[in-house]
Structure 1
Amino acid sequence: MKPNSENKFPLYLSVVIPVFNEQENLETLYSRLKPTLENLKTSYEIIFIDDGSMDKSWIIMEEIKKNDNSVKTFQFNRNYGQHTAILAGFELSKGEVIVTIDADLQNPPEEIPKLLKEIENGHDVVGGWRKNRKDPFFRKFISQMGNKVLARITGIKLKDYGCMLRAYKREVVERICEVNEFSSFFIPALAYTYSNNLIEIVVDHNQRQEGKSKYNLLKLAKLNFDILTSFSLIPIQLITLLGVFIALFGGLFGLILILVKIFFNTSNGILSLISIFSVFTGILTFFLGLIGEYIGRIYLEVRRRPRYIITNSKE
């Protein structure tokens, strides 16, 4: 491992861990992470970001900090979301290399040396790929479909968007931190945008042993929709094309009804008209909602409120 004395950074490695209601896993995570980092024989820090936990996570983190000066803990005033917590960790970190890992132990901390090896091989971003995921079938299916759609529409081609076991060189992290947007913080996608030499490697993935996943299907759908609207204009461009198609179809259908009335003296079919009108109304309502999503993001940017607020910290 590269000795810290050769670096221009205070530390070689920063490990950023976003935490939200993970009281069952924190002590086990730390007990496995600490020897893994010690075996690297380099300087490091462990940064816990408490993302507004409502259980005893913060108390446990404080206890860990009391016995280990390499640990730093920060507490948000409320829940801002996983990626905002990671961003805060980026901004607070001092290492030349920054590793992110979830607190749920589904990604083993023992995999971190594999990521660092690829960093030393010249890659500036190393993403974990959960090739053999230990999640329920339906969740895996939704994630796989979401990955394919996102890759096609956004042009961000990652094998695994959702794995947070990742390593970043400092220069990539600094580029991410310079982003002034409020609503576009999906860290892996931003890293893909700013990386010069990204690689994804297969990492182990375990079933969650304690606690519950913080991403249900609704939150997963929202996350994918956020990525879609944050990194691509294709959805709103499709609205324009579909709007033209609907207008042409409506005009053609109206012409057909007129011709049928003239030549066959047949009723217009009020039920058919109501049915078609309902379908078009539903489509237009969806379009308005999508446009509203983009406008809402503009509104968030204009307000320029703080991305997060730290109320407690132990450094």
Structure 2
Amino acid sequence: MSLASQNNRRPEQLYPHSLYRRASESTDDSIDERRVAPVVDLSVVIPISERYDDVKELYEAYKADLDGTNCSYEIIYVLDGQYAEVLSTLKALLDEGEPIKIIRFARSFGEATALSAGFANSDGPLLLTLPAYYQVEPGAMTRVVDALEQHDMVVGRRSARKDSGFNQLQTRVFYRVQKFITGFELHDLGCGVRGFKRQVVEEVFIYGDQHRFLPIMAQRWGFKVVEVDLPQSSKDRYRRVYRPGVYLRRLLDLLTVFFLGKFTKKPLRFFGLIGSGLAFIGAITLTWLLIDRLFLSEPLGDRPAILAGSLLIVLGIQIFGLGLIGELIIFTHAKELKEYTIEEIIN
């Protein structure tokens, strides 16, 4: 059974939001029906950045797949920069009456920003992100949309990998690193096929390159996230080799996600632990030197350990102070922060 027809529920029942109210159901005759956004079950966001395949060919493949979901849908293309050829193709599709919307940035702002712009300009209670290049075989959209009946977010995992061994090695290494840092088992964060309910993107804010880690952040916030195996496209054979700086940035982004998810409202636990540890090591070092001086008559003037111990104590106090300042900031804005998700209220 498709999501749109389950229990004859309308989209506004799946996600009660005033924007999803049909114009014909409005009791206010003063509302201009042309100004009320049409209701769709599914909003599809496709960011266009550095890598993309034949836009028209891929659009037709996606459209055929989306038609199989039995959901009404809209497709939103977000051009992260100036892509004149892509824009021309999309305008031609729009002129042909295709259900697409085009958003173009004045310059490149990053894929996370492109996705956020697509979400903000979409109407559906359900969202689906797709890559601008081949990643999975046809039929994947139906699996993702069906899985959203029981979960808040669905993450695609390319199974039966057909790309190069180097790509697969990168994926496995990154999976082990992110599992070690976050504790979550998500095997293919590089897959761009993801589905989620609108509440996820309204509750979880992404920026920079953190769109890759949206499933981890959603799990931190208490949303139900599931990974679905999708057959990898035979055309997804592009060997991805990045500069060392790219790998470093992704590792730093992963550490950022870990910190934001675990210590956002408890900065003193993070900085206090590090600062206390450094200060303790410095204190032990100076104590040992003091014992040597008092009981063994060892000179201190030519021992660099005394400088190292003193620096560790000062550094530890400074880091601990950062944690205290963070706690003061959190305390000041505590009422504005929210790190939970209500699944149901029963009266």
* TM-score, scaled to structure 2: 0.66
Q: Does 1:219 align with 2:219?
A: no
- Partner SS for 1:224: helix
Q: Is the 8 A contact 2:217 2:257 kept in 1?
A: no
Query: 1:74: how far off?
Result: 0.6
Partner residue of 2:228 out of 201, 225, 231: 201
Query: 1:115: how far off?
Result: 0.8
- Structure 2 match to 1:177: 202
Query: 1:47: how far off?
Result: 0.9
- Structure 2 match to 1:260: 292
Unaligned stretches of 5+ residues in structure 2: 13-19, 21-38, 334-347
With a CA cutoff of 8 Å and minimum separation of 6, indicate the structure with the bigger relative contact order. Answer: 1
Partner residue of 2:153 out of 125, 128, 139: 125
- Structure 2 match to 1:228: 258
How far apart in 2 are the matches of 1:208 and 1:67?
32
Query: 1:70: how far off?
Result: 0.8
Q: Does 1:249 align with 2:281?
A: yes
Change (3 A) 1:181 1:128: closer
- Structure 1 match to 2:107: 78
Query: 1:100: how far off?
Result: 1.0
How far apart in 2 are the matches of 1:265 and 1:99?
73
Q: Which has the larger radius of gyration?
A: 2
Partner residue of 1:19 out of 43, 48, 56: 48
Query: 1:164: how far off?
Result: 3.0
Aligned residue type for 1:199 = V
**Cα deviation code 1:199-234 (max 9, x no counterpart):** 221223454539987993133123213312322217
Query: 1:167: how far off?
Result: 1.3
**Cα deviation code 1:260-295 (max 9, x no counterpart):** 23333334474642884699499769969x97xx89
Change (3 A) 1:274 1:250: closer
* TM-score, scaled to structure 1: 0.71
How far apart in 2 are the matches of 1:274 and 1:29?
66
How far apart in 1 are the matches of 2:287 and 2:306?
17
Unaligned stretches of 5+ residues in structure 1: 302-315
Change (3 A) 1:193 1:239: closer
- Structure 2 match to 1:304: none
Query: 1:124: how far off?
Result: 3.0
Of stretches 219-228 and 201-210 in structure 1, the one that deviates more from structure 2 is: 201-210
Indicate the percent of aligned positions where both proteins have the same amino acid.
23
- Partner SS for 2:116: helix
- Structure 2 match to 1:116: 145
Q: Is the 8 A contact 2:285 2:309 kept in 1?
A: no
- Structure 2 match to 1:310: none
**Cα deviation code 1:141-169 (max 9, x no counterpart):** 542233214424xxx66454443311123
How many pairs are equivalent?
A: 288
